[in-house]
Amino acid sequence: MSVGIEQLAVYVPPYVLSLDALAAARGVPAEKFREGLGVREMAIAPPCEDVVTLAASAGARALRASRIDPGDIGMLLVATETGVDHAKPVSIFVHELLGIGRQCRVYELKHACYAGTAALMSAADWVRAGGTRPRRALVIAADIARYAIGSPGEPTQGAGAVAMVVGREPGSLVLGEESGTYAGNVYDFWRPLGRREAMVDGKYSVECYLEALAGAFTAYRALERPALGADEPLSARLARFLYHTPFPKMAVKAHRRLLELDWRATAARAAGETDRLEEAMVASHRDAVAPGLEAVARVGNTYTASLYLCLAALLEREGSRLAGQRLGLFSYGSGCCAEFFTGLVPTGVAVQAGVAELLRERTAIDIEAYERLVREGDAGGEPPPGFTGEFVFQGVRDERREYARFAPALAA
């Protein structure tokens, strides 16, 4: 039975800050961000948006694109590390805003950036467990990456959400049934209770990411079917590679490590072709990785949504050319847990996730406006002119968060 992603939809906030402007304000060369990190812009949320509104806006887009009744959703999962309450999940707010029916399993998942994959795999297993009964799940990965003004992590901020309808008619990606996993308790990135901004040990986090990649990818190679020949690299079977991407240069490091592992596992390449690895890495990154990084370079870090933003943008641009081919996907969450899995792009794929349109419609802001928005946080209030979201966070009253649908077209 085929199970996978039937539809993808993306939402990003309406404001965008140029990383060249940020570099100038911080007194560093623009190349440090453009070349060193691979980022050009980052999405900034206004005070009327929080992780709930991001998730709900993406979810509404996915439901419309799927042309399914919200009442047909039997499971709603929201993956985030930007929770709004220690007990009440983001997903139950989204459940109400989207008008999903009462007969629905609803919960929130947290494991840093890995949670989006945890939600997708949980939903896929639930659909498979239904047998011949029709089941559909709505999985949403949504986050706002925040770091203190002037901190080393500041240029790796971002915000956005990706919604995925998961079911037995996967028109976007058929999920493979095997995956390689890896877990270990590390303190590479964390956010203690009471802190708005995360804490991160940047260099150590990169090391943890690459170690987890090695563990998950090696585990997956052993599960690949049909089994790999002694001289056959797994990378030869996969048309594209997508990685959790806190910044695009992380995907460069990740792909180099993956190819090293893949080549070393093949007898002939390990014996006589290692001198060609760097040449192969450059070509492979250009052809198999770079096509999926354009959106991340313009949105920034979206934590749980990062991998799936890459997927949505890739399928929107190249879906028809990739039909019938397999993709390799790697998910990493600090703390840490990782998973490598594959997916088949089905024949007839037609993904319109809204990525290009959303990026085109954003409003550029300057450093002064950016710093003001950071200080205001997600305080709630009226949406700004040109707001493209579908829901707004109105604020907190009597310790309760209040949300509403925003429909300017209807109001006019």
pLDDT at 410: 41
| Confidence check: pLDDT of 145 > 70 | yes
pLDDT of 251 above 70:
yes
| Residues spanned by the domain of 30 | 4-411
| Residue bearing tokens 């039975």 | 1
Mean per-residue pLDDT of the chain: 94
Q: If DSSP codes are grouped into helix, strand and coil, which group holds residue 183?
A: strand
- Among 125-134, 266-275, 280-289, name the one with the lowest average pLDDT: 266-275
- The pLDDT assigned to 271 comes to 56
**Sheet architecture: strand order including 326-333:** 105-109, 75-79, 137-145, 158-167, 4-11, 173-183, 337-344, 326-333, 240-243
Whether 48 sits among the annotated catalytic residues: the reply is no
Question: DSSP readout, 255-295?
Answer: HHHHHHHHHHTSHHHHHH-GGGHHHHHHHHIIIIIGGG-HH
Q: Read off the pLDDT band of 270 (50, 70, 90).
A: low
Q: What angle do CA 360, 344, 312 make, to 5 degrees?
A: 15
**Does residue 386 register a pLDDT over 90?**
no
**Would you state the pLDDT for residue 299?**
98
Q: Is the pLDDT of residue 73 over 80?
A: yes
Write down the pLDDT at residue 237.
Answer: 97
Query: Are the beta carbons of 210 and 254 closer than 8 angstroms?
Result: yes
Least confident piece of the model among 52-61, 218-227, 318-327, 380-389: 380-389
Q: Measured between alpha carbons, how far is 256 from 253 in angstroms, rounded to an integer?
A: 5
| Per-residue pLDDT at 409 exceeds 90 | no
Alpha helices in 285-390 (DSSP H): 294-299, 306-322, 355-361, 367-376
User: 291 is written with which tokens?
Assistant: 């096509």
Q: What is the Cα–Cα distance from 238 to 325, expressed in whole angstroms? A: 7
Q: Distances from the Cα of 130 to the Cαs of 2, 22, 134, 174, in angstroms? A: 13, 50, 7, 17
Asked if 139 contacts 121 with a C-beta cutoff of 8 angstroms, the reply is no
86 carries an active-site annotation: no
pLDDT at 206 over 50: yes
Give mean pLDDT, residues 128-156.
Answer: 94
pLDDT value of residue 375: 87
pLDDT of residue 411: 36
Q: How confident is the model at residue 408 (pLDDT cuts 50, 70, 90)?
A: low
Domains identified in the chain, total number:
1
State the pLDDT at residue 376. Answer: 84
Q: Percent of the chain at pLDDT above 70?
A: 96
**Residue 139, domain CATH:** 3.40.47.10
Give the pTM: 0.96
Which is catalytic among the residues 95, 244, 255, 285? 244
Which of the following is catalytic: 6, 41, 81, 154? Answer: 81
Amino acid, single-letter form, for residue 389: G
Q: How much of the chain, in percent, has pLDDT values that exceed 90?
A: 86
Is the pLDDT reported for residue 272 higher than 80? Answer: no
Active-site choice (6, 95, 108, 113): 113
Tell me the mean pLDDT in the region 256-266: 93
Whether the CA torsion 373, 375, 378, 382 is positive or negative: it is negative
Tell me: the pLDDT tens digits for 216-248? 999 999 999 999 998 899 999 999 999 999 999
Is 198 or 288 the better-scoring residue by pLDDT? 288
113 annotated active-site: yes
- Say what the pLDDT of residue 412 is: 31
**Mean pLDDT across the stretch 115-141?**
95
Mean pLDDT calculated for residue range 60-64: 97
CA distance 79 to 52: 11
Half-sphere exposure of residue 176: CA atoms within 13 angstroms, side-chain side = 20
